[in-house]
Amino acid sequence: MAMAACSSVPTRASMNQVTLPASDARVQYTGRTYRSGAGIVFSHPGVTVRVRFWGDALRMRLLDAGAGGEVGTNYFDVVVDGAAPRLLAVRGGEHTYPLATGLAVGLHTVELIKRTESSVGPSTLVALEVHGELREPPPRPGLRMEFVGDSITCGYGSEVALRPESSSWVAPVFTSKNENPRRGHAWLTALKLGAEPVLVCYSGHGVYRNLDMSTSGLLPALYELAVPGHSAGWDFSRDSPDVIVINAGTNDVFAGSGTDAFLPDEASFKSAYRAFLQRLRTLHPRAHIVCTLGSMTDGFKQLEMKGAVTSVHVGQWITDLVVERQHQGDARIYRHWMDVQNPGVDGVGEDWHPSAATHAKMADALSRFIQDVVRP
């Protein structure tokens, strides 16, 4: 019996190169994807492809829409058997990339994690090439978390940490290589709680207005899609998240520079945020919803004109909306206050975004709040 069992395990001499479509049921995806004629399409940062196989090597065929260069190159982390990640830059078009080579023949797990966000371009996994045999994927964590937000949730610029030298100091601008959701507060919070993270986020986009004052592709609209800019809707019949964290409103606050709409409009913001909360509750009746804002602002903004000072506080508006829903009987919605970042102590990332140190503090506070108050 023992010999018969051993004979079913392939040896290096008996192994073949096997090509499998990206849609194979044994390929595990975490995050928003959809199936196209070419393969499995995804664009959000943090989307993870997880494969377990018996063999010694794994390659992938990837069709990528990135334009290349400092802002248009998609990057992935490749993790083999839990080791330190290897950074992989991919090229536009369809190419084959080695993910694991020269391994000892045996059971291995490879994870491919997208680091860059939708603005850099979507990727399509076409196929996997296994030298050996594909096996069933590892079990998923029991707790599912979804993080909805903007560049802060994406991990924009988090690979950089610089301390401003003066009030006139200019922060470096976005490069796709320095975006890393795995150093961001969302991913770190999920890790602390032993949860599976799904990120739905897009830089510069807001609740009722985007940073550039446009109103297309607002976060509530993007939430409906599998991939921003593609018509395929997300299938909400899939497993619902246990906890949803919304960190949105920063771009609504920062928009309007040099215009008559410098200050965000309370009625417009509240109407859009209120509708989004209702949509989330309709889609996910049992989910715990945590509303936060930060850490680039707490939502306060003021305008000084002709000696008169007018101010608004988007953070307080979010609190009002959470209390409103609580009074309506929603017992699974919460308001978490995020500390504003301290660049002099923790530095900043690109374009004044949170540094990795700030993200770590954000994750500490958010995970404690979820453990102590939400208790999913």
Task: For 136-158, write each residue's pLDDT tens digit.
Answer: 999 999 999 999 999 999 999 99
Same domain, 267 and 367: yes
| Domain-embedded: residue 170 | yes
Same domain, 75 and 155: no
The DSSP secondary-structure symbol of 374 reads I
Rounded to an integer, the average pLDDT of 105-120 is 98
Rounded to an integer, the average pLDDT of 4-13 is 59
Same domain, 86 and 222: no
Q: Which residue has the tokens 């391994």?
A: 103
Same domain, 117 and 165: no
Same domain, 62 and 197: no
Percent of the chain at pLDDT exceeding 90: 94
Same domain, 115 and 157: no
**How far, in Å, CA of 134 to CA of 258, rounded?**
57
CA distances from 53 to 10, 40, 111, 160 (A): 11, 19, 12, 35
Q: What DSSP line would sit under 128-180, residue for residue?
A: EEEEEEEEPPPPPPSEEEEEEESHHHHTTTTT--B---STT-------GGG--
Give me the torsion for CA of 27, 30, 31, 33, rounded to 10°: 10
How do 143-149 and 243-247 pair as beta strands? parallel
| Domain-embedded: residue 249 | yes
Which pLDDT band holds residue 6 (cuts at 50, 70, 90)?
very low
Task: For 47-101, write each residue's pLDDT tens digit.
Answer: 999 999 999 999 999 999 999 999 999 999 999 999 999 999 999 999 999 999 9
Q: What DSSP line would sit under 311-345, residue for residue?
A: EEEHHHHHHHHHHHHHHTT-TTEEE-PPPPP-HHH
**How far, in Å, CA of 252 to CA of 248, rounded?**
8
Choosing from 105, 135, 165, the residue where a domain stops is 135
Element (H, E) at 283: helix 266-283
pLDDT at 8 over 80: no
Strands annotated E in 25-135: 28-30, 34-35, 40-42, 48-64, 75-80, 86-89, 93-100, 106-114, 123-135
Task: For 173-204, write each residue's pLDDT tens digit.
Answer: 999 999 999 999 999 999 999 999 999 999 99
**How far, in Å, CA of 210 to CA of 212, rounded?**
5
pLDDT at 211 over 60: yes
Which pLDDT band holds residue 1 (cuts at 50, 70, 90)?
very low
| pLDDT averaged over every residue in the chain | 96
Same domain, 53 and 36: yes
pLDDT at 15 over 90: no
Distance in Å from the first CA to the final CA of the chain: 46
**How many residues in the chain?**
376
Of 3-7, 122-126, 299-303, 326-330, where does mean pLDDT reach its minimum?
3-7
Same domain, 204 and 269: yes
Choosing from 97, 113, 135, the residue where a domain stops is 135
**How far, in Å, CA of 123 to CA of 38, rounded?**
11
Which pLDDT band holds residue 210 (cuts at 50, 70, 90)?
very high
| Domain-embedded: residue 5 | no
Rounded to an integer, the average pLDDT of 356-366 is 98
Same domain, 114 and 259: no
Give per-residue burial for 186-223: e unless 16+ CB within 10 Å, then b: bbbbbeebebbbbbbbbbbbbbbbbbeeeeebbbbebb
Task: For 317-359, write each residue's pLDDT tens digit.
Answer: 999 999 999 999 999 999 999 999 999 999 999 999 999 999 9
In the prediction, which pLDDT does 11 show?
A: 73
- Enumerate the β-bridge partners of residue 49: 29, 112
Smallest CA-to-CA distance from 291 within 283, 299, 282 is with 299
Which pLDDT band holds residue 7 (cuts at 50, 70, 90)?
very low
Domain CATH for 312? 3.40.50.1110
> Which is higher by pLDDT, 128 or 10?
128
Domain CATH for 54? 2.60.120.260
Domain residue limits at 346: 143-374
Domain count within the chain:
2
Which pLDDT band holds residue 167 (cuts at 50, 70, 90)?
confident
3-state secondary structure 178-229: HCCHHHCHHHHHHHHCCEEEEEEECCCCCCCCCCCCCCCCCHHHHCCECCCC
Rounded to an integer, the average pLDDT of 207-221 is 98
